């Protein structure tokens, strides 16, 4: 019988067990038994201790929105005043335990008898106060109300009177909606935003009792506007760092203005806006997190461009990085996202539910959304049960879903500037480039079952980084001198670093440095410009001098002298005792010429350093992105080996078992909540989940703070209590099965 340590080594040498995706793989089943046997025999797992628990918070002192746990929206259409049964609408959300609903004021079409000029009444309104009737129906059921506006589009009469309100193309012509050419796009720098939108907000405040205001369609998500109107022509060129600063200044000027107007009637009212865009965001997420009372993630489902099932969780990690526990909700579209789309037809229940699961698991508030009460309550009613069942289930367990903080000890630096502004290396100019990098590191972290958080590039202060034993910088190309210094100080304080490719090669203005910004820290020096691939990509030759202490990086590689490299690489000056060296790329076709003319160089493919407790590792190639593009196992194994090496093979949370899962662990008021999402599915990266493929036992281990006793563990989906084993600080239990999602709610005393 293997003991646990030797077992882990042996399994790592073959393939990390957690990367096995096949639910019925007999090797995995055997491995799980071995692990269980080793654990029973008392072998200590390699666990890092959890931090001491936070002091209890007084809920009474929290703003009202912090207590909201469920958000509902039937997104109203122009036709709804003619056909919607308001009582039925309000009853649905009330019975589903929604505590707040969105009701449309809009700005494109008024849902009430607005007197604001150019606020066109919907053609089925007929003088009726539809908005007011909806507000009354919601308030009668003790639901709060968000007044929803749309400042992004307006009609020809407004354009005629105010040509300066329109976004313009380079040749000066007006930008119109792609789908409805009668609507022009409004420019966020124009007085449309200073005059027209505030007039509507003040009118609403004067007529109704709403709890807060929201703008849909502004600011833009994940990209920056390109407008050539008279005002914008004087701004820095679109998509440059200087433009982004001007854009941010304008967003936050308007945000504060609208927030002040919201508070004119009720001090606890506020303004919030359409957000999302994952790590790209739109507005600077650090600044946003400091002023926003509500992060509204308009991240409603998978799209053609973004087909991975974990898109909602990824957004949740972004919110966790910037909101510091303040309210964040993610919208789940009950209708079909993707292209072409059917905005008024339900998506598959498994798909919708997984998006809701991810919302909750990643620490956000579930928000369920369907278009048009007409269609939603008459033509297609399939969406209703999915959302209502999920909402009612969460309502039974609110205490366990109210997160206090993530316990993760690996931080992934989300370089928002890089994501928005860096166009990729000279060899690949593509907006998809940074997205592919993000997906590569994310996928690799999930398959390795690491507990990790995102950390915003503008939040690298030591107090925040102290939680993390390692920081990962997946080609974070743009870093300011200050950010480089903060990363250096983190390393000097004992933190470990993994970085790749062009990390720190550019400053915050996208000016290329003569040398990497982290050159001294990582022990690297640039020897030329980026080298791409034409045919065969480069290889990484294994140079393994005897007794090389860095050999754990090569765990699992046998019977080969080289490994796959990456699509693009930065040439480096030689280092002492390189572990992997570059075999330059060569011809792939014709096969007659597919051999390396230069079989060996002294150019490092990876550089490792060890300084006190901290370790650093730098990959010269864009390894995360190339892994995402190819799925090559060498790259995945290298990333896992690198993370294991810099974290000294210790984990703050260990979940072992078969399958492809995503996991979160939160400190909660009752104790802890371990969330396990089952992505083991043929549709994990394409299409919708059409059915669920349940997983077998998952062994969970963690090392609790001293003097903490576990009172009980409950599985919230299976609705059963679990036996557990606590010896001193070590806690172990087995989740016997995961269908789509399971939450182990740990209560401590």
Scanning 116-124, 225-233, 676-684, 701-709 for contacts with Zn ion by CB under 5 A, the matching segment is: 225-233
Separation of alpha carbons 271 and 640, rounded Å = 43
Closest CB to Zn ion among residues 196, 557:
196
The dihedral through the CA atoms of 301, 306, 310, 315 has a sign that is negative
Q: Tokens in use for 52?
A: 């001491």
Closest CB to Zn ion among residues 233, 430:
233
Minimum CB separation from Zn ion for residue 227, in Å?
A: 3
Q: Which of 622, 656, 186, 610 lies closest to 450 in space, CA to CA?
A: 656
Burial class of residue 123 (count of CB atoms within 10 Å of its CB; 0-12, 13-18, 19+): exposed
Closest CB to Zn ion among residues 245, 263:
245
Minimum CB separation from Zn ion for residue 232, in Å?
A: 3
103, 116, 232, 738: which one binds Zn ion (CB under 5 A): 232
Separation of alpha carbons 508 and 296, rounded Å = 27
* 178 C-beta neighbours (distance < 10 Å), count: 8
Minimum CB separation from Zn ion for residue 96, in Å?
A: 41
Closest CB to Zn ion among residues 191, 430:
191
Minimum CB separation from Zn ion for residue 192, in Å?
A: 10
Minimum CB separation from Zn ion for residue 277, in Å?
A: 20
Residues 356-375 that bind Zn ion (CB under 5 A): none
Closest CB to Zn ion among residues 151, 349:
151
Scanning 223-231, 309-317, 718-726, 730-738 for contacts with Zn ion by CB under 5 A, the matching segment is: 223-231
Query: With the CA atoms of 602, 607, 611 and 613 taken in that order, what torsion angle do they form, in degrees rounded to the nearest 10?
Result: -140
Closest CB to Zn ion among residues 190, 503:
190
Question: Is 441 near Zn ion (CB under 5 A)?
Answer: no
What are the helix (H) ranges across 381-480?
382-395, 398-401, 416-421, 432-447, 462-465
Separation of alpha carbons 408 and 495, rounded Å = 14
User: DSSP assignment, residue 593?
Assistant: G
What are 368's strand-pairing partners? 72, 332
- 102 CB-near residues (< 8 Å, 6+ apart): 71, 72, 73, 75, 146, 148, 214
Q: Tokens in use for 616?
A: 């650093």
Closest CB to Zn ion among residues 190, 402:
190
Distance of CA 92 to the CA centre of its chain: 30
Closest CB to Zn ion among residues 232, 655:
232
Scanning 227-235, 389-397, 546-554, 692-700 for contacts with Zn ion by CB under 5 A, the matching segment is: 227-235
* 521 C-beta neighbours (distance < 10 Å), count: 24
Minimum CB separation from Zn ion for residue 167, in Å?
A: 5
Closest CB to Zn ion among residues 197, 451:
197
Minimum CB separation from Zn ion for residue 188, in Å?
A: 7
Q: Which backbone phi and psi does 420 adopt, to 5 degrees?
A: -85, -35
Scanning 16-24, 187-195, 350-358, 731-739 for contacts with Zn ion by CB under 5 A, the matching segment is: 187-195
Indicate the SS3 state at residue 614. strand
Separation of alpha carbons 460 and 464, rounded Å = 7
Closest CB to Zn ion among residues 227, 673:
227
Question: Is 227 near Zn ion (CB under 5 A)?
Answer: yes
- 359 CB-near residues (< 8 Å, 6+ apart): 312, 316, 329, 330, 332, 365, 366, 367
Minimum CB separation from Zn ion for residue 282, in Å?
A: 16
Minimum CB separation from Zn ion for residue 195, in Å?
A: 15
Scanning 183-191, 215-223, 518-526, 701-709 for contacts with Zn ion by CB under 5 A, the matching segment is: 183-191
Scanning 219-227, 434-442, 491-499, 609-617 for contacts with Zn ion by CB under 5 A, the matching segment is: 219-227
- Chain length of the chain: 749
Closest CB to Zn ion among residues 172, 705:
172
Angle value at C-alpha 52, between 50 and 57, nearest 5 degrees = 125
Question: Is 748 near Zn ion (CB under 5 A)?
Answer: no
Minimum CB separation from Zn ion for residue 320, in Å?
A: 34
Separation of alpha carbons 134 and 120, rounded Å = 19
Closest CB to Zn ion among residues 189, 270:
189
Site string for Zn ion, 660-679 (x = CB under 5 A): --------------------
Minimum CB separation from Zn ion for residue 148, in Å?
A: 24
Residues 701-720 that bind Zn ion (CB under 5 A): none
Minimum CB separation from Zn ion for residue 55, in Å?
A: 48
Question: Is 352 near Zn ion (CB under 5 A)?
Answer: no
Closest CB to Zn ion among residues 174, 207:
174
Asked if residues 328 and 319 have their Cβ atoms less than 8 Å apart, the reply is: yes
Question: Is 229 near Zn ion (CB under 5 A)?
Answer: yes
Closest CB to Zn ion among residues 17, 227:
227
Minimum CB separation from Zn ion for residue 245, in Å?
A: 16
Minimum CB separation from Zn ion for residue 168, in Å?
A: 7
35, 39, 147, 187: which one binds Zn ion (CB under 5 A): 187
Scanning 83-91, 141-149, 179-187, 335-343 for contacts with Zn ion by CB under 5 A, the matching segment is: 179-187
Closest CB to Zn ion among residues 160, 546:
160
Q: Tokens in use for 204?
A: 């609403």
Minimum CB separation from Zn ion for residue 225, in Å?
A: 8
CA distance readout (Å), 78 to 130, 204, 495: 11, 19, 56
Minimum CB separation from Zn ion for residue 235, in Å?
A: 8
Question: Is 445 near Zn ion (CB under 5 A)?
Answer: no
Closest CB to Zn ion among residues 244, 586:
244
Distance of CA 543 to the CA centre of its chain: 37
Question: Is 159 near Zn ion (CB under 5 A)?
Answer: no
Parallel, antiparallel, or unpaired: how do β-strands 365-371 and 720-721 relate?
unpaired
Separation of alpha carbons 717 and 177, rounded Å = 44
Number of shown-chain residues binding Zn ion (CB under 5 A): 5
Separation of alpha carbons 574 and 580, rounded Å = 11
Asked if residues 492 and 613 have their Cβ atoms less than 8 Å apart, the reply is: no
Asked if residues 314 and 279 have their Cβ atoms less than 8 Å apart, the reply is: yes
Scanning 151-159, 226-234, 565-573, 693-701 for contacts with Zn ion by CB under 5 A, the matching segment is: 226-234
What are 606's strand-pairing partners? 619
Separation of alpha carbons 145 and 135, rounded Å = 7
- 674 CB-near residues (< 8 Å, 6+ apart): 653, 655, 663, 664, 665, 700, 743, 744, 746
Site string for Zn ion, 56-85 (x = CB under 5 A): ------------------------------
Minimum CB separation from Zn ion for residue 228, in Å?
A: 7
Closest CB to Zn ion among residues 229, 262:
229
- The interaxial angle of helices 633-646 and 432-447, nearest 10 deg, is 70
Sites of contact with Zn ion (CB under 5 A): 187, 189, 227, 229, 232
């Amino acid at each position: 019988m293997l003991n646990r340590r030797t077992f882990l080594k042996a399994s790592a040498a073959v393939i990390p067990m957690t990367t096995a995706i096949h639910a019925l793989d007999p090797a995995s089943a055997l491995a799980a038994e071995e692990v269980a046997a080793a654990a029973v025999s008392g072998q200590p797992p390699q666990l890092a201790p959890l931090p001491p628990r936070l002091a209890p918070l007084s809920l009474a002192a929290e703003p009202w929105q912090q207590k909201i746990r469920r958000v509902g929206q039937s997104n109203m259409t122009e036709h709804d005043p003619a056909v919607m049964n308001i009582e039925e609408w309000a009853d649905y959300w009330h019975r589903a335990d929604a505590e707040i609903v969105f009701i449309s004021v809009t700005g494109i079409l008024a849902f009430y008898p607005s007197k604001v000029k150019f606020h066109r009444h919907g053609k089925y309104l007929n003088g009726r106060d539809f908005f007011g009737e909806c507000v009354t129906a919601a308030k009668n059921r003790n639901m709060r109300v968000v007044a929803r506006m749309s400042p992004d589009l307006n009609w020809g009469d407004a354009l005629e009177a105010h040509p300066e309100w329109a976004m313009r193309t380079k040749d000066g012509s007006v930008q119109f909606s792609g789908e409805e050419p009668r609507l022009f796009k409004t420019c966020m720098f124009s007085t449309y935003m200073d005059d027209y939108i505030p007039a509507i907000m003040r009118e609403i405040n004067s007529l109704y009792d709403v709890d807060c205001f929201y703008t849909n369609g502004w600011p833009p998500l994940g990209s920056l506007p390109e407008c050539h109107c008279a005002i914008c022509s004087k701004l820095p060129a679109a998509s440059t760092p200087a433009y982004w600063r001007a854009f941010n200044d304008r967003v936050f000027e308007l945000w504060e203005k609208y927030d002040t107007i919201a508070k004119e009637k009720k001090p606890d009212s506020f303004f919030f806006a359409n957000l999302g865009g994952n790590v790209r965001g739109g507005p600077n997420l650090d600044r946003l997190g400091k002023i926003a009372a509500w992060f509204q993630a308009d991240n409603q489902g998978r799209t053609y461009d973004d087909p991975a099932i974990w898109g909602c969780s990824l957004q949740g990690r972004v919110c966790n990085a910037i909101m510091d526990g303040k309210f964040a909700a993610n919208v789940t579209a009950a209708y079909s996202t993707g292209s072409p789309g059917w905005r008024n037809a339900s998506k598959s229940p498994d798909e919708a539910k997984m998006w809701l699961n991810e919302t909750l698991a990643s620490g956000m508030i579930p928000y369920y959304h369907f278009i048009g009460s007409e269609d939603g309550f008459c033509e297609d009613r399939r969406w209703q049960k999915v959302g209502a069942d999920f909402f009612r289930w969460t309502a039974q367990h609110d205490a366990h879903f109210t997160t206090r903080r993530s316990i993760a000890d690996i931080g992934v630096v989300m370089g928002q500037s890089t994501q928005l502004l860096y166009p990729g290396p000279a060899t690949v100019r593509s907006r998809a480039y940074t997205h592919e990098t993000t997906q590569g590191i994310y996928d690799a972290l999930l398959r390795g079952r690491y507990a990790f958080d995102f950390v915003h590039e503008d939040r690298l202060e030591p107090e925040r980084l102290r939680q993390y034993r390692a920081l990962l910088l997946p080609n974070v190309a743009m870093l300011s001198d200050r950010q480089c210094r903060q990363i250096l100080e983190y390393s000097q304080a004992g933190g470990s670093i993994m970085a790749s490719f062009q990390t720190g090669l550019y400053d915050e203005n996208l000016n290329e440095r003569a040398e990497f910004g982290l050159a001294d820290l990582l022990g690297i020096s640039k020897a030329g410009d980026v080298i791409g691939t034409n045919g065969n990509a480069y290889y990484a030759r294994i140079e393994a001098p005897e007794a090389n202490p860095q050999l754990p990086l090569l765990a699992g590689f046998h019977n080969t002298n080289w490994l796959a490299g990456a699509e693009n690489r930065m040439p480096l000056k030689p280092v002492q005792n390189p572990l992997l060296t570059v075999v330059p790329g060569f011809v792939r076709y014709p096969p007659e010429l597919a051999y390396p003319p230069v079989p060996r160089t002294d150019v490092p493919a990876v550089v490792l350093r060890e300084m006190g407790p901290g370790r650093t590792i730098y990959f010269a190639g864009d390894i995360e992105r190339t892994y995402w593009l190819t799925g090559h196992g060498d790259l995945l194994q290298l990333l896992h080996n690198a993370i294991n090496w810099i974290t000294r093979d210790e984990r703050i949370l260990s979940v072992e078992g078969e399958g492809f899962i995503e996991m979160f662990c939160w400190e909660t008021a009752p104790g802890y909540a371990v969330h396990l999402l089952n992505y083991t599915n043929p549709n994990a990266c394409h299409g919708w989940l059409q059915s669920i493929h349940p997983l077998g036992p998952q062994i969970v281990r963690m090392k609790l703070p001293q003097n903490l006793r576990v009172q009980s563990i409950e599985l919230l989906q299976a609705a059963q209590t679990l036996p557990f084993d606590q010896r001193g600080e070590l806690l172990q239990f087995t989740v016997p099965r995961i269908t789509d999602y399971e939450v182990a709610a740990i209560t401590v005393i």
